[in-house]
Amino acid sequence: MSDCSSDENENDTILYRDRPEWKDVTPLKQDDGDEPVVAIDYTEAFEDCYDYFRAILKKKEISERALELTKTAAQLNSANYTVWQYRREILKGLGKDLNEELDYIQKVILKHSKNYQVWHHRRIIVEWLQDASKEKYLTETVLAKDAKNYHAWQHRQWVIRTFKLFDGELEYVDTLISDDVRNNSAWNQRYFVINNTTGFTDEVLDREIDYTLNHIKTVTENESAWNYLRGLLLHGKEGLSNNKKVTDFCEELYKSGNRSPFSLAVIVDMCFEQLNEGGGDSRYTPQRAKELCEELINKYDIIRANYWKHMIEMIDKTMKDENIESSN
Residue ranges making up the domain that contains 276:
238-328
Do 264 and 291 contact (CB within 8 A), yes or no? no
Show Cβ contacts of residue 37 under 8 Å, excluding neighbours closer than 6 positions. Answer: none
Please tell me the predicted confidence (pLDDT) of residue 168.
Answer: 97
For range 66-71, the mean pLDDT:
98
| 69 domain-assigned | yes
Please tell me the predicted confidence (pLDDT) of residue 280.
Answer: 80
DSSP label of 96: -
Q: E strand or H helix at 113, and its extent?
A: none
Please tell me the predicted confidence (pLDDT) of residue 36.
Answer: 53
Please tell me the predicted confidence (pLDDT) of residue 254.
Answer: 97
- What percent of the chain is modeled with pLDDT above 90? 86
| 214 domain-assigned | no
End of a domain among 72, 96, 120?
96
| 134 domain-assigned | no
pLDDT higher than threshold 80 for residue 79:
yes
Give one DSSP letter per residue of 29-47, joined into a string. Answer: -----SS-SS-----HHHH
Closest C-alpha to 72, from 54, 53, 85, 58: 53
End of a domain among 35, 63, 96?
96
End of a domain among 80, 96, 112?
96
Show Cβ contacts of residue 152 under 8 Å, excluding neighbours closer than 6 positions. Answer: 113, 119, 139, 142, 143, 146
CB neighbour burial string for 114-147, b if at least 16 within 10 angstroms, e if fewer? ebebbbbbbbbbbeeeeebebbbebbeebbeeeb
Pairs from 2-6 (Cβ < 8 Å, separation ≥ 24) = 2/64, 3/64, 3/67, 3/68, 3/71, 3/96, 3/100, 3/104, 4/100, 4/104
The single residue of 29, 59, 92, 114 carrying the catalytic annotation is 114
Please tell me the predicted confidence (pLDDT) of residue 162.
Answer: 98
Domain count, the chain: 2
**How long a stretch of residues is the chain?**
328
pLDDT higher than threshold 90 for residue 154:
yes
For range 116-122, the mean pLDDT:
98
13-45, pLDDT tens digit by residue? 799 999 999 999 999 997 655 555 545 557 999
Please tell me the predicted confidence (pLDDT) of residue 279.
Answer: 80
Please tell me the predicted confidence (pLDDT) of residue 57.
Answer: 97
221-278, pLDDT tens digit by residue? 999 999 999 999 999 888 999 999 999 999 999 999 999 999 999 999 999 999 998 8
| 121 domain-assigned | no
For range 213-220, the mean pLDDT:
97
For range 53-63, the mean pLDDT:
97
- Residue 201: phi and psi, rounded to 5, are -70, 170
Q: For residue 309, indicate whether it is catalytic.
A: no
Share the mean pLDDT of the chain: 92
- What percent of the chain is modeled with pLDDT above 70? 91
| 289 domain-assigned | yes
Please tell me the predicted confidence (pLDDT) of residue 10.
Answer: 47
Banded pLDDT at 8 (limits 50, 70, 90): very low
| 137 domain-assigned | no
Please tell me the predicted confidence (pLDDT) of residue 322.
Answer: 76
For range 297-313, the mean pLDDT:
98
| 299 domain-assigned | yes
- Residue 318: phi and psi, rounded to 5, are -65, -40
pLDDT higher than threshold 60 for residue 1:
no
| 171 domain-assigned | no
